[in-house]
Each structure stands twice: as structure tokens, then as C-alpha cells.
Chain A
Amino acid sequence: DGGITQSPKYLFRKEGQNVTLSCEQNLNHDAMYWYRQDPGQGLRLIYYSQIVNDFQKGDIAEGYSVSREKKESFPLTVTSAQKNPTAFYLCASSGFGGNNQPQHFGDGTRLSIL
């Protein structure tokens, strides 16, 4: 089945550690996105990529990094510089075709600090 796969489902980070969240899609979508969701808040955009080997910062990019070496994959690294990483991380993708393309989400990764 086509879809977006995020792994792991749960992740724990130690102090000073970088962790990487995986996002893979087999929908042949050009654009991919990373969001963060905190309790009682909406989704906030971290990074997005509309084409392979290119990505842009979203509203809260500090403390995060991404790569887009393949169309199917858009991993997110939460670095030690991100002092409050505990959140629900959501990856999304959409077809490239202007503003009318809806985004579809993976199941998310919950990150907590040990």
C-alpha cells in the first residue's frame, strides 16, 4: 500500500545526543515536510523540501537538520542544540502542483528526553 512510514514510533534522547527520525514515502510525492506538535498546540513547520537535494527552513528550524538525497526519504535530525525536543513529530508529503495539493501524514514519532 502507498503511504508514509515514520520510524521509530517512540524515541528517547539522552542529554547532548543527536537523534534521527526516519520518514519514507512511496507515493511518488515531490514535496515532504516535517512538523512538530506540542500538547494543545497546532502543528509547526520545521523544514520542508519541494525537490531532491533542496530544502528550506520552516518556522522553528533551530536545533534541527534535514537532508533530501532521495525523493522517497526525508530524515530529520534533532540535535543537542534543541533544548526542548519533547514533542510529537509528524512527517507529511504532497504532490507538486501548486497550492491545491493536500498534505498526507505519517503516523508520527514521539520523542522524549531521558
Chain B
Amino acid sequence: QKEVEQNSGPLSVPEGAIASLNCTYSDRGSQSFFWYRQYSGKSPELIMSIYSNGDKEDGRFTAQLNKASQYVSLLIRDSQPSDSATYLCAGVFTGGGNKLTFGTGTQLKVEL
């Protein structure tokens, strides 16, 4: 069973701080990873994709992938109250076609 693990939180950070969200996975043969943001009562929204080791930056968001250690992280710089949401980590694993395996999500709260 391919698994993606996330701390459910809540993770509380003050406004303007860096929020660090982490995700570990069980399959070394994983291919691609995605971070989704889900506001309460809404559907997930794709915010970052990462396919190779290293960092990928997009605006205030940086995704980091370390395949040797089997973890993925998402950094949110200059956190805003509007970033308060649940962040879902998802991976595509070898032999799985394009099926995503989701973690249970980390709730982020950005406090004024």
C-alpha cells in the first residue's frame, strides 16, 4: 500500500512568517508530487507540482523534494490570513498510472 503521511496540525504561524508543511511517503519509486490547497467546504486547488529533486519556487510558495529521504515539503513565505486552509500532499507512484495517493492534509492557521 503506497502511503503519503502528513501531520494533521493545526499548524499555527503568525502573519508574515514562513509556514513549513511536510509530507513523507513510503514508495521510493514515486514519480511526481503535488500540493493542493483546500479551503473549508471547498474543493482542492492545485498550487504546486514538483517532479525532480530540489526546490521549485512560484511566488510565495516553494516546494522541495528529496527522493532519497522520501519527503516533500511546501514553504509559504510571508504567510497571510488568506493562506489559512488545509494543504494536501499527493504523489503519483510507480505502476500506478496517473493515480494520485493523497495524504490526509495539514491544517494551517495564519494568525493576525
How many angstroms from the CA of A74 to the CA of B34 in the assembled complex? 23
| B32 contacts chain A at the CB level, 8 A cutoff | yes
**Are B104 and A106 neighbours in the complex by a CB distance under 8 Å?**
no
| B43 contacts chain A at the CB level, 8 A cutoff | yes
| A60 contacts chain B at the CB level, 8 A cutoff | no
Return chain A residues, CB-CB under 8 Å to B34. 102-103
B94 to chain A, nearest CB (A): 9
Could you count the A-B residue pairs with CB atoms below 8 Å apart for me: how many are there? 58
| B28 contacts chain A at the CB level, 8 A cutoff | no
Q: Which residue of A lies closest to B8 (CB)?
A: A40
Stretch with Cβ within 8 A of A (4 or more), from B12-20, B45-53, B62-70, B72-80: B45-53
Interface positions of B (Cβ within 8 A of A): 4, 8, 31-32, 34, 36, 42-46, 49, 51, 88, 90, 92, 96-100, 102-105
Interface positions of A (Cβ within 8 A of B): 31, 33, 40-45, 48, 50, 58, 90, 94, 96, 98-108
